[in-house]
A = this chain, B = another copy of it.
Amino acid sequence: MITLTEENYIKAIFHLSLQGKETVSTNDLAEAMNTKASSATDMIKKLSEKGYANYKKYQGVILTDSGKKVALSIIRKHRLWEVFLVDKLGFTWDEVHEVAEQLEHIKSPKLINQLDRFLDYPKHDPHGDPIPDINGNMPIVEKTLLSQAQVGHIYSCIGVNDSSAEFLQYLDTNNIQLGSEIEIMYIEPFDKSIKIKVNNNEFTVSNSVAKNLYLKKN
């Protein structure tokens, strides 16, 4: 049996190992989980014993295939529930995360597969992130951060890095949605702020914003 806490640690390790180095450090994991390093160490040991992770003292942790499978199953559930909340219950994209964090732990294969069907097999969640299929396969999208985009090119918005309500509301205010076309006009060398054109409307976004918006080259 896998506990709710174990699931959350596995999910955190999975996400951390995608954004950055392969192996996840105890401190980073502790920070992601809002606990102390000693707690993270304990849990890493436990996950290793249960076969979800590989771990050598002082060397950080990596998920095993079994651990990755667990992570992808949770991510599938999380993202399908997000689609449900937005498409069927009228939530906005900045309201869904917290509730989906709870719903992702419901255990019932039939539930999640019927939900998938009810939603007509969506490929992406409301933030543009891909939904793993029933076997845990998740298409890899070659995405670029706005902060790494090239002047003169046109991109489409395909997702966010930060799904906090604040950031998502900022995007709404500036009429940036999933699928929005974004043209890179000018990058200010001094503070790395970027002038972009969206819906024929030019404005400048800060580097902190640019580091949290994923684009795909058109």
Interface of A toward B, CB cutoff 8 Å: 85, 88-91, 95, 98-99, 102-103, 106-108, 110-111, 114-115, 118
Contact = CB atoms under 8 A, between A and B. Distances in A.
Given A89-B114, A118-B89, A99 B103 contact: no
The binding surface of chain A is classed by DSSP as: helix
Nearest to A105: B102
Contact of A99 (B85, B90, B108): B108
A119 to B, nearest CB: 10
Contacts of A85: 111
Contacts of A114: 89-91
Contacts of A95: 110
Contacts of A111: 85, 89, 99
A115 B103 CA distance: 14
A190 to B, nearest CB: 43
A108 B115 contact: no
Contact of A106 (B88, B103, B115): B103
A32 to B, nearest CB: 22
Most buried by B among A89, A98, A114: A89
Contacts of A99: 106, 108, 110-111
B89 A115 contact: yes
A134 to B, nearest CB: 15
20 contacts: A85-B111, A88-B118, A89-B111, A89-B114, A89-B115, A89-B118, A90-B114, A91-B110, A91-B114, A95-B110, A98-B108, A99-B106, A99-B108, A99-B110, A99-B111, A102-B106, A102-B107, A102-B108, A103-B103, A103-B106
Most buried by B among A95, A110, A111, A114: A111
